[in-house]
Amino acid sequence: MAGKEIAIIIVFYVTCGVVVISALIAVFARSVINAAFALFFTLCGMAGFYFLLSADFLAIVQIVVYAGGILVLLLFGILLTHRTLEELGIEKRTTYIAGTIAGLAFYLILIFIIAQGLWHQIPPKPMAPTTATIGRLLLTKYLLPFEISSVTLLAALIGSAYLVRRKEGK
């Protein structure tokens, strides 16, 4: 094996360790804030897998949308909600047992699917288009749908700001 292949394998295993350990911390953390931060490292580790697969666009989207947007939304929801775990019904032991059984079943299904895969074959080209290819397509072939979606999102943002401002004035 060449030095580059060994480095990629080492990076893969380090990323696996980060994802698994941070996911376990996210699941078993007693503090919701600690669980949210562990989820952040899990999502960033998943973006590392996309980088290793040469899917740079998916990796950036993973970081921006999930680690950036969704996690910030989750943290705001946590920080603005003043309910305890007992009020939410999460403190019961039956929820942990049911979650553990469901997680183990899902894990066994994944192991079965992975064992059936043909992992020794290497694709001749990157599996996902590069960012340059996606950018070229968005600004040529798919320009109209891209612009329509951006105008629609802008209208939704203006409408939501108007509705919030209107309720504050009353």
How far apart are alpha carbons 33 and 162 in whole angstroms?
Answer: 31
Statement: residue 120 has pLDDT above 70? no
CB 32 within 8 A of CB 78: yes
The pLDDT value given to residue 45: 93
Where do the structural domains in the chain lie, given as residue ranges?
3-130, 140-170
Mean pLDDT of 159-164: 77
Mind listing the pLDDT tens digit for each residue in 24-42? Answer: 998 888 887 888 889 889 9
3-130 CATH fold: Four Helix Bundle (Hemerythrin (Met), subunit A) (1.20.120)
Calculate helix-pair angle for 32-52, 71-80, nearest 10 degrees: 180
Token pair 């989820």: residue: 39
Q: What is the tens place of the pLDDT at every residue in 49-62?
A: 998 888 888 888 88
pLDDT band at 104, cuts 50/70/90?
A: very high
Residue with token string 């049911």: 98
